[in-house]
Structure 1
Amino acid sequence: MTPTEAAFLPGLELSRILYEEAVRPLLDAAFPGLPYAAARIGPGSEVLGFDTARSADHDWGPRLDLFLAADDVAAHGEAIGRLLADRLPKEIRGWPTHFRSADDPLDPVGHMAATDGPVNHRVAAHDLGGWLTREAGFDASAAEPSVRDWLAMPQQRLAGITGGAVFHDGPGLLTAARRRLARYPEQVWRYLLACQWQRISQEEAFVGRCAEVGDELGSAVVAARQVRDLMRLSLLLERRYAPYSKWLGSAFAQLGAAEALLPALRGALAATGHPERERHLCDAYRAVAVRQNESGLIDPVDPSPRPYHGRPFLVLHAERFARPLAASVTDPELRDRPLTGSVDQWADSADLLTGADGDALRAAEAAAARG
């Protein structure tokens, strides 16, 4: 079908209806007593609540994730897939449950389509421990994450694991894993805040230095990077995971700090000259610095911008916030670690953050730890 705004139903609601009206009755009848969890979590704009009618043109529709023990997946996974292919309704609230295979290897996403035969559905049966290991790098249903686990998990994956909705959790293991990953522990949080302030410190003066040599484009690019880092810092201060770039602004707009910060951030991006750009950035630096002081994590630091050493550029000197935050970290695995941060504080490759497995992310994290 061709999606329209009138026909659109948020993906999480569509997943809930799919489970309650179609999948659960079939599982109850064919596999009575089978312990499982049913949810819509992981990748997908609907998991974050940011899907729109535009989302319906690829990899969106009546979808569901089933989580079972590894032995149950081995014993029943294929039978569950066949049962649903044969018995699922052809559509849910007007949206096809069948996904046609893509003919274009450069466009491998699934597209909903009508069918007269078995349904090529998007109800996936996962081994919970294996799924968590692929997504998070370790099995959070069985153990608390270590410091290294936390630093190797991209925030956008954490947002997907802890977002979305769980419709049923008989064993309770998925719920326990989501609870473990819901927010950074305080020591990791302090360390990551220090790292984010350090990132901001590294390029504050470049906005002015680029403009001084006539490179207004370079000045604007650096300013945009600072805006992005301030947005991510604001999310971190409110203990929210930053999603991938497409939804960063949407997630930021939900923060308590967003309304007051938006004029300064927009002004810095829209400015056509350095003085205006610097003024807006300094307003933003000051506002986020005040929020940091209000957190009570460290003694208050003067949030006023000041000259960059002897040069005519106004900056916050954000390292003034990074240093006391780093000094407040007492965890032995973190206190002497360089301020490189978690994997998505020093890398933004989509292939790494969304496609790499846990081993690759751990290897990257270990390399960063060595400085």
Structure 2
Amino acid sequence: MPAAEPAFLPGLDLSRILYEEAVRPLLDKAFPGLPYAAARIGPGSEVLGFDTARSADHDWGPRLDLFLAPSDAAAHGEAIRRLLADRLPKRVRGWSTHFAPAADPLDPAAHMTASDGPVDHRVAVHALGDWLVAEVGQDAAASEPGVRDWLAMPQQRLAGVTAGAVFHDGPGDLTTARTRLARYPDEVWRYALACQWQRISQEEAFVGRCAEVGDVLGSAVVAARLVRDLMRLSLLLERRYVPYTKWLGSAFALLDAAGELTPLLSGALAATDYPERERLLCAAYEAVAVRQNATGLVDPVDPSPRPYHSRPFLVLHAERFARPLADSLTDPELRGLPLTGTVDQWADSTDLLTGADAWTLRSASAAVRGGA
């Protein structure tokens, strides 16, 4: 009879126990004085605090990231890996420290399983700078990111690097990097907000136009895109990074704005007729616009919806919020950019996909080819 699965505990707690009770004592004895950082950051639902018992079925368990200087990683990385394979306990709080691929060749994820020999553990040793470059494209421990660096960093990667938990940071470099990446600098933040309002402006009239021609499904799909963009905008307004899509709703629910906006956005998604969908979307536009005004970044803009030119659709005309934010920019690099935004924003931007700006098309082409 198979053993019962141990009681679930949050992955960050499990990682802390792994470090404090097993990894740290082994490192202290075998590598006394070695400078390193120990953390659980990067990809993973537990890093964002959204893991549940369901998470235990793949790529979850007693996991840890060790960060060393490049020379130390090269000199000691393999020895640390072997030491932990031989000396780690087989289980931590009932959860196996040994990971193995699933029997299904179509399932590449690692699963916890029992082992009688050395454990194939998930304590990864990294050279900090190399890991940061791999995660966000920038060694933020060595230097402050520039404007173009910020625009190229996916928000879900930034969320993973700056969330989670650091259990020890002897050199302090990991803490430096996380502090530098914790939130957008003010100018980049203004630009990203302007671009997010511009995204809403691009499509807000399409909900009514689709409905007018009898495209009920199309109207609902556009409304869903606008709901997603309003959620992302709300995260930006509260200076939170937008996570992986699976956790967008969970992250949104933690916002100050969630109590007011959730009924409106949920209602817009559930609406089966255009007038109700329009009413709820317009109420949501106005509520987010009021919050934008409350930031004091620019002079207040009238948040009330209005007709879309001569057509019978009510919209916010969200470009009214994008323009003042863009005009407030003082950074010369940002002032010269079109309002297509960070990599998350322009990847499916209407302006990009319709070819409205040659510079953005060239940048997208370079990104797809892996160029600078």
Shorter-chain TM-score tier: over 0.9
Q: Which residue of 1 aligns with 2:60?
A: 60
Q: Give me the TM-score of the superposition, normalised by structure 1.
A: 0.93
Code of the aligned partner of 1:302: D
| Aligned pairs, number | 355
Contact 1:3 1:56 in 2 (8 A): no
- Output the CA distance in 2 between the equivalents of 1:70 and 1:128: 7
Q: Which residue of 1 aligns with 2:342?
A: 342
Matches within 5 A, 1:309-328: 309-328=309-328
Q: CA 1:365 to 1:250, structure 2 compared with 1: closer, same or farther past 3 Å?
A: farther
- 1:1-30 alpha-carbon deviations (Å, 9 max, x no partner): 8886x7101000000000000000000000
Q: Which residue of 2 aligns with 1:243?
A: 243
Q: Which residue of 2 aligns with 1:164?
A: 164
- The alpha carbon displacement at 1:101 in A equals 2.5
Q: Which residue of 2 aligns with 1:101?
A: 101
Answering whether residue 331 of structure 2 is matched by residue 331 of structure 1, we say yes
Q: CA 1:56 to 1:78, structure 2 compared with 1: closer, same or farther past 3 Å?
A: same
Matches within 5 A, 1:15-34: 15-34=15-34
Q: Which residue of 1 aligns with 2:298?
A: 298
Contact 1:152 1:365 in 2 (8 A): no
- Output the CA distance in 2 between the equivalents of 1:220 and 1:175: 44
- Output the CA distance in 2 between the equivalents of 1:339 and 1:255: 25
Q: Which residue of 2 aligns with 1:45?
A: 45
- 1:297-356 alpha-carbon deviations (Å, 9 max, x no partner): 01000000000000000000000000000000110000010001000112269xxxxxxx
- Output the CA distance in 2 between the equivalents of 1:338 and 1:256: 30
Q: CA 1:167 to 1:3, structure 2 compared with 1: closer, same or farther past 3 Å?
A: farther
Name the SS for the 2:332 alignment partner. coil
Contact 1:77 1:125 in 2 (8 A): yes
Matches within 5 A, 1:149-188: 149-188=149-188
- 1:63-112 alpha-carbon deviations (Å, 9 max, x no partner): 00000011111100000000000000000000000001334332111000
- The alpha carbon displacement at 1:365 in A equals 8.7
- Indicate the larger mover: 218-227 or 105-114: 105-114
Contact 1:151 1:341 in 2 (8 A): yes
Code of the aligned partner of 2:67: F
- Output the CA distance in 2 between the equivalents of 1:110 and 1:363: 36
Q: CA 1:290 to 1:2, structure 2 compared with 1: closer, same or farther past 3 Å?
A: farther
Q: CA 1:367 to 1:63, structure 2 compared with 1: closer, same or farther past 3 Å?
A: closer
Q: Which residue of 2 aligns with 1:234?
A: 234
Q: CA 1:36 to 1:363, structure 2 compared with 1: closer, same or farther past 3 Å?
A: farther
Matches within 5 A, 1:272-291: 272-291=272-291
CA RMSD for the aligned pairs?
1.7
Answering whether residue 129 of structure 2 is matched by residue 138 of structure 1, we say no
Q: CA 1:165 to 1:203, structure 2 compared with 1: closer, same or farther past 3 Å?
A: same
- The alpha carbon displacement at 1:364 in A equals 3.9
Q: CA 1:141 to 1:63, structure 2 compared with 1: closer, same or farther past 3 Å?
A: same
Code of the aligned partner of 1:123: V
Name the SS for the 2:335 alignment partner. coil
For structure 2, the 5+ residue unaligned runs are 350-361
Q: CA 1:268 to 1:366, structure 2 compared with 1: closer, same or farther past 3 Å?
A: same
Q: How many percent of aligned residue pairs carry the same amino acid?
A: 81
- Output the CA distance in 1 between the equivalents of 2:97 and 2:237: 40
Q: CA 1:259 to 1:138, structure 2 compared with 1: closer, same or farther past 3 Å?
A: same
Code of the aligned partner of 2:257: A
Contact 1:39 1:168 in 2 (8 A): yes
- 1:131-175 alpha-carbon deviations (Å, 9 max, x no partner): 001001011100000001100000000000000000000000000
Contact 1:342 1:365 in 2 (8 A): no
